[in-house]
Structure 1
Amino acid sequence: MNSTPVDDKVLRGVLDRWKAAVHAHEPARVAAEFTEDAIFQGLHPYTVGRQGVADYYASQPLGMTAEYRILETRRLADNVVLGYLSVDFSFTDRPALTVSLSVLVKQSPDGDQISHYQVSRLN
Protein backbone atom coordinates (compact mmCIF):
# COMPACT_ATOMS: atom_id res chain seq x y z
CA MET A 1 0.00 0.00 0.00
CA ASN A 2 1.38 3.40 -0.97
CA SER A 3 0.02 5.36 1.92
CA THR A 4 1.01 7.66 4.72
CA PRO A 5 -0.44 7.68 8.23
CA VAL A 6 -1.54 11.30 7.75
CA ASP A 7 -3.42 10.53 4.52
CA ASP A 8 -5.00 7.42 6.05
CA LYS A 9 -6.16 9.53 9.00
CA VAL A 10 -7.76 12.08 6.66
CA LEU A 11 -9.64 9.35 4.79
CA ARG A 12 -10.68 7.48 7.94
CA GLY A 13 -12.02 10.67 9.51
CA VAL A 14 -14.44 11.30 6.66
CA LEU A 15 -15.19 7.66 5.87
CA ASP A 16 -15.92 6.72 9.49
CA ARG A 17 -18.51 9.53 9.65
CA TRP A 18 -19.92 8.43 6.26
CA LYS A 19 -20.10 4.82 7.47
CA ALA A 20 -21.85 5.77 10.73
CA ALA A 21 -24.45 7.78 8.81
CA VAL A 22 -24.99 4.91 6.33
CA HIS A 23 -25.49 2.46 9.20
CA ALA A 24 -27.96 4.84 10.89
CA HIS A 25 -29.82 5.26 7.55
CA GLU A 26 -29.55 9.06 7.81
CA PRO A 27 -29.26 10.28 4.20
CA ALA A 28 -28.88 13.97 5.12
CA ARG A 29 -26.03 13.12 7.49
CA VAL A 30 -24.37 11.04 4.73
CA ALA A 31 -24.73 13.97 2.31
CA ALA A 32 -23.16 16.35 4.85
CA GLU A 33 -19.88 14.45 4.37
CA PHE A 34 -19.77 15.66 0.75
CA THR A 35 -18.90 19.06 -0.70
CA GLU A 36 -21.82 21.08 -2.04
CA ASP A 37 -20.62 20.44 -5.61
CA ALA A 38 -19.52 16.82 -5.15
CA ILE A 39 -19.63 14.48 -8.12
CA PHE A 40 -21.29 11.29 -6.90
CA GLN A 41 -21.38 7.98 -8.80
CA GLY A 42 -22.99 5.12 -6.93
CA LEU A 43 -24.47 2.17 -8.83
CA HIS A 44 -27.05 4.47 -10.47
CA PRO A 45 -26.60 7.46 -12.81
CA TYR A 46 -24.29 10.11 -11.39
CA THR A 47 -25.40 13.25 -9.62
CA VAL A 48 -23.78 16.49 -8.59
CA GLY A 49 -24.35 17.97 -5.15
CA ARG A 50 -25.54 16.92 -1.73
CA GLN A 51 -29.20 16.48 -2.68
CA GLY A 52 -28.33 13.73 -5.13
CA VAL A 53 -26.24 11.98 -2.46
CA ALA A 54 -29.09 12.24 0.05
CA ASP A 55 -31.60 10.92 -2.51
CA TYR A 56 -29.32 7.97 -3.35
CA TYR A 57 -28.88 6.94 0.27
CA ALA A 58 -32.57 7.50 1.06
CA SER A 59 -33.32 4.85 -1.59
CA GLN A 60 -31.05 2.28 0.08
CA PRO A 61 -32.69 -0.41 2.22
CA LEU A 62 -32.89 -0.15 5.99
CA GLY A 63 -30.22 -2.25 7.65
CA MET A 64 -27.61 -1.71 4.92
CA THR A 65 -24.11 -1.42 6.35
CA ALA A 66 -20.72 -0.60 4.85
CA GLU A 67 -17.30 -1.90 5.83
CA TYR A 68 -14.33 -0.41 4.01
CA ARG A 69 -10.66 -1.21 3.62
CA ILE A 70 -8.21 1.38 2.31
CA LEU A 71 -6.10 -0.10 -0.50
CA GLU A 72 -4.20 2.96 -1.72
CA THR A 73 -3.87 6.64 -0.99
CA ARG A 74 -2.23 9.49 -2.85
CA ARG A 75 -1.76 13.12 -1.87
CA LEU A 76 -2.75 14.94 -5.05
CA ALA A 77 -2.37 18.46 -3.67
CA ASP A 78 -1.79 20.10 -0.30
CA ASN A 79 -5.50 19.81 0.49
CA VAL A 80 -6.63 16.82 -1.62
CA VAL A 81 -6.28 13.12 -0.77
CA LEU A 82 -7.21 10.32 -3.17
CA GLY A 83 -8.39 7.07 -1.66
CA TYR A 84 -8.94 3.75 -3.39
CA LEU A 85 -10.92 1.29 -1.27
CA SER A 86 -12.73 -2.00 -1.18
CA VAL A 87 -16.19 -1.69 0.38
CA ASP A 88 -18.54 -4.46 1.45
CA PHE A 89 -22.16 -3.34 1.56
CA SER A 90 -24.22 -5.80 3.60
CA PHE A 91 -27.98 -6.18 3.57
CA THR A 92 -30.56 -7.91 5.74
CA ASP A 93 -32.25 -9.73 2.85
CA ARG A 94 -29.58 -10.52 0.25
CA PRO A 95 -25.89 -11.33 -0.11
CA ALA A 96 -23.28 -8.65 0.52
CA LEU A 97 -22.03 -6.60 -2.41
CA THR A 98 -18.32 -5.85 -2.73
CA VAL A 99 -17.37 -2.77 -4.74
CA SER A 100 -14.30 -0.72 -5.48
CA LEU A 101 -14.56 2.90 -4.40
CA SER A 102 -12.45 5.90 -5.31
CA VAL A 103 -12.87 9.11 -3.34
CA LEU A 104 -11.28 12.52 -3.41
CA VAL A 105 -11.30 14.15 0.01
CA LYS A 106 -10.87 17.90 0.12
CA GLN A 107 -9.34 19.20 3.34
CA SER A 108 -10.52 22.51 4.71
CA PRO A 109 -10.38 24.37 8.03
CA ASP A 110 -14.18 23.92 8.10
CA GLY A 111 -13.80 20.12 7.88
CA ASP A 112 -12.74 17.47 5.41
CA GLN A 113 -15.35 16.39 2.86
CA ILE A 114 -15.70 14.10 -0.14
CA SER A 115 -15.64 15.99 -3.44
CA HIS A 116 -15.72 12.97 -5.75
CA TYR A 117 -17.12 9.46 -5.15
CA GLN A 118 -16.95 6.72 -7.79
CA VAL A 119 -18.13 3.13 -7.26
CA SER A 120 -17.20 0.27 -9.59
CA ARG A 121 -18.27 -3.36 -9.61
CA LEU A 122 -15.38 -5.39 -10.89
CA ASN A 123 -17.00 -8.82 -10.81
Structure 2
Amino acid sequence: MTDIDTDAAILRAVLDRWQAGIAAHDPRAVAANFTEDAIFQGLHPYSVGPDGVAAYYDVQPVGMTVAYTLRETRRLAEDVVLGYLTAAFSFTDRPTRELYLGVVLRRTDAGWRIAHYQVSRLD
Protein backbone atom coordinates (compact mmCIF):
# COMPACT_ATOMS: atom_id res chain seq x y z
CA MET A 1 0.00 0.00 0.00
CA THR A 2 1.40 3.43 -0.94
CA ASP A 3 1.37 6.47 1.33
CA ILE A 4 -1.42 7.95 -0.80
CA ASP A 5 -3.53 4.82 -0.34
CA THR A 6 -2.89 4.90 3.39
CA ASP A 7 -3.76 8.60 3.67
CA ALA A 8 -6.96 8.11 1.66
CA ALA A 9 -7.88 5.09 3.82
CA ILE A 10 -7.37 7.14 6.99
CA LEU A 11 -9.54 9.95 5.63
CA ARG A 12 -12.26 7.57 4.42
CA ALA A 13 -12.46 5.78 7.77
CA VAL A 14 -13.09 9.05 9.64
CA LEU A 15 -15.27 10.60 6.94
CA ASP A 16 -17.40 7.45 6.67
CA ARG A 17 -18.17 7.72 10.40
CA TRP A 18 -18.94 11.45 9.96
CA GLN A 19 -21.21 10.59 7.01
CA ALA A 20 -23.02 7.85 8.98
CA GLY A 21 -23.62 10.17 11.94
CA ILE A 22 -25.14 12.78 9.61
CA ALA A 23 -27.41 10.21 7.94
CA ALA A 24 -28.57 8.98 11.36
CA HIS A 25 -29.13 12.58 12.52
CA ASP A 26 -26.92 11.78 15.51
CA PRO A 27 -25.00 14.99 16.32
CA ARG A 28 -22.99 13.33 19.10
CA ALA A 29 -21.83 10.57 16.73
CA VAL A 30 -20.73 13.26 14.25
CA ALA A 31 -18.95 15.22 17.00
CA ALA A 32 -17.11 12.10 18.21
CA ASN A 33 -14.99 12.33 15.05
CA PHE A 34 -13.45 15.64 16.15
CA THR A 35 -10.60 16.46 18.51
CA GLU A 36 -11.30 18.31 21.76
CA ASP A 37 -9.71 21.45 20.27
CA ALA A 38 -11.05 21.08 16.73
CA ILE A 39 -11.69 24.27 14.78
CA PHE A 40 -15.00 23.77 12.98
CA GLN A 41 -16.23 26.12 10.24
CA GLY A 42 -19.50 25.08 8.64
CA LEU A 43 -21.75 27.58 6.87
CA HIS A 44 -22.38 29.40 10.18
CA PRO A 45 -19.96 31.06 12.63
CA TYR A 46 -17.08 28.82 13.68
CA SER A 47 -16.77 26.89 16.91
CA VAL A 48 -14.06 25.03 18.77
CA GLY A 49 -14.46 21.48 20.06
CA PRO A 50 -17.02 18.68 19.74
CA ASP A 51 -19.82 20.53 21.56
CA GLY A 52 -19.90 23.17 18.82
CA VAL A 53 -19.92 20.47 16.15
CA ALA A 54 -22.81 18.67 17.86
CA ALA A 55 -24.77 21.93 18.17
CA TYR A 56 -24.23 22.65 14.46
CA TYR A 57 -25.46 19.23 13.31
CA ASP A 58 -28.29 19.14 15.84
CA VAL A 59 -30.13 21.91 13.97
CA GLN A 60 -29.61 20.34 10.54
CA PRO A 61 -32.78 18.91 9.03
CA VAL A 62 -33.71 15.29 9.67
CA GLY A 63 -33.18 13.35 6.46
CA MET A 64 -30.07 15.27 5.42
CA THR A 65 -27.35 13.02 4.01
CA VAL A 66 -23.93 13.65 2.53
CA ALA A 67 -21.96 12.00 -0.24
CA TYR A 68 -18.31 12.96 -0.56
CA THR A 69 -15.47 12.54 -3.03
CA LEU A 70 -11.84 12.85 -1.99
CA ARG A 71 -9.99 15.17 -4.37
CA GLU A 72 -6.56 15.47 -2.77
CA THR A 73 -4.68 14.07 0.21
CA ARG A 74 -1.42 15.14 1.77
CA ARG A 75 0.58 13.74 4.68
CA LEU A 76 1.67 16.86 6.54
CA ALA A 77 3.45 14.98 9.33
CA GLU A 78 3.52 11.43 10.67
CA ASP A 79 0.36 12.04 12.71
CA VAL A 80 -1.34 14.65 10.47
CA VAL A 81 -3.25 14.13 7.20
CA LEU A 82 -4.94 16.78 5.07
CA GLY A 83 -7.90 16.04 2.84
CA TYR A 84 -9.67 18.17 0.26
CA LEU A 85 -13.04 16.94 -0.95
CA THR A 86 -16.35 17.80 -2.47
CA ALA A 87 -19.41 17.11 -0.39
CA ALA A 88 -22.97 16.92 -1.70
CA PHE A 89 -25.48 17.51 1.08
CA SER A 90 -28.91 16.16 0.11
CA PHE A 91 -32.21 17.09 1.72
CA THR A 92 -35.74 15.72 1.58
CA ASP A 93 -37.32 19.09 0.75
CA ARG A 94 -34.78 21.14 -1.25
CA PRO A 95 -32.04 20.80 -3.85
CA THR A 96 -28.72 19.18 -3.06
CA ARG A 97 -26.01 21.60 -1.99
CA GLU A 98 -22.50 21.04 -3.36
CA LEU A 99 -19.75 22.26 -1.06
CA TYR A 100 -15.97 22.06 -0.84
CA LEU A 101 -14.41 20.79 2.34
CA GLY A 102 -10.90 20.88 3.72
CA VAL A 103 -10.10 18.75 6.75
CA VAL A 104 -6.98 18.16 8.78
CA LEU A 105 -6.91 14.88 10.70
CA ARG A 106 -4.64 14.26 13.66
CA ARG A 107 -3.83 10.92 15.24
CA THR A 108 -4.84 10.99 18.92
CA ASP A 109 -4.89 8.41 21.69
CA ALA A 110 -8.47 7.67 20.56
CA GLY A 111 -7.43 7.24 16.91
CA TRP A 112 -7.65 9.59 13.94
CA ARG A 113 -9.87 12.63 14.52
CA ILE A 114 -10.70 15.84 12.67
CA ALA A 115 -8.70 18.76 14.10
CA HIS A 116 -9.75 21.33 11.49
CA TYR A 117 -12.88 21.45 9.28
CA GLN A 118 -13.43 24.25 6.78
CA VAL A 119 -16.36 24.23 4.37
CA SER A 120 -16.88 26.66 1.49
CA ARG A 121 -19.07 27.12 -1.51
CA LEU A 122 -18.04 28.60 -4.83
CA ASP A 123 -21.26 30.21 -6.02
Q: Which residue number in structure 1 is paired with residue 117 of structure 2? A: 117
Deviates more, 1:70-79 or 1:101-110: 101-110
- CA deviations 1:46-67 (Å, max 9, x no partner) are 0001110000000100000000
- CA deviations 1:9-54 (Å, max 9, x no partner) are 0000100000000000000110000001100000000000111000
In the TM superposition, what is the alpha-carbon distance from 1:92 to its structure 2 partner?
0.2
In the TM superposition, what is the alpha-carbon distance from 1:118 to its structure 2 partner?
0.2
- CA deviations 1:51-99 (Å, max 9, x no partner) are 1000000010000000000000000010000000000000000000000
TM-score by length of 2: 0.96
In the TM superposition, what is the alpha-carbon distance from 1:109 to its structure 2 partner?
4.3
Cα distance change of structure 1 residues 85 and 39 upon mapping to structure 2, 3 Å threshold: same
Q: Which residue number in structure 2 is paired with residue 81 of structure 1? A: 81
Determine if the alignment matches structure 1 residue 90 to structure 2 residue 90.
yes
> Distance in 2 between the 1:84 and 1:103 partners?
7
TM-score by length of 1: 0.96
In the TM superposition, what is the alpha-carbon distance from 1:111 to its structure 2 partner?
1.0
Q: Which residue number in structure 2 is paired with residue 56 of structure 1? A: 56
Q: Which residue number in structure 1 is paired with residue 12 of structure 2? A: 12
> Distance in 2 between the 1:40 and 1:99 partners?
15
How many residues of Structure 1 are paired with residues of Structure 2 in the alignment? 121
AA at the equivalent of 1:31:
A
> Distance in 1 between the 2:122 and 2:112 partners?
28
Identical aligned pairs, as a percentage? 59
Runs of 5+ unmatched residues, structure 2: none
Question: Residue 4 of structure 1: SS of its match in structure 2?
Answer: helix
In the TM superposition, what is the alpha-carbon distance from 1:108 to its structure 2 partner?
2.9
Aligned ranges 1:94-105 → 2 under 5 Å: 94-105=94-105
> Distance in 2 between the 1:19 and 1:111 partners?
17
Question: Residue 107 of structure 1: SS of its match in structure 2?
Answer: strand
Runs of 5+ unmatched residues, structure 1: none
> Distance in 2 between the 1:109 and 1:52 partners?
21
AA at the equivalent of 2:4:
T
